[in-house]
């Protein structure tokens, strides 16, 4: 029996065939958002999208979700994104990082 599909925890307009760049930002502890990590992650994502001519989706965030034991793969935004990939709802040529 298939697992129930996770609802995306991010905004995603299905664009058909337009390749997108998805910036996945994760921090294990919510207080980390007060530092410079989010800004640095977004800056790198924006540069990548511009360099490769992609439209950037900046809404994928798992704040306070640990990756130590793979929790981010089974719940939260990344889990929903992986479901979209498995169901081929992400346009071909898209990139995630």
**Which of these is catalytic: 28, 37, 45, 94?**
28
Active site residue 23: no
For residue 76, give the nearest of 9, 2, 1, 5 by alpha carbon. Answer: 9
Classify the C-alpha dihedral 59-65-69-71 as positive or negative: negative
Active site residues: 28
């Amino acid at each position: 029996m298939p697992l129930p599909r996770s609802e995306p925890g991010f905004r995603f307009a299905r664009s058909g065939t337009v390749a997108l760049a998805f910036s996945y930002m994760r921090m294990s502890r919510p207080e980390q958002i007060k530092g410079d990590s989010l800004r640095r992650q977004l800056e790198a994502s924006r540069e990548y999208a511009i360099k490769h001519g992609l439209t950037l989706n900046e809404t994928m965030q798992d704040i306070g979700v640990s990756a130590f034991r793979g929790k981010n793969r089974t719940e939260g935004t990344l889990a929903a994104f992986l479901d979209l990939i498995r169901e081929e709802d992400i346009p071909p040529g898209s990139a995630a990082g």
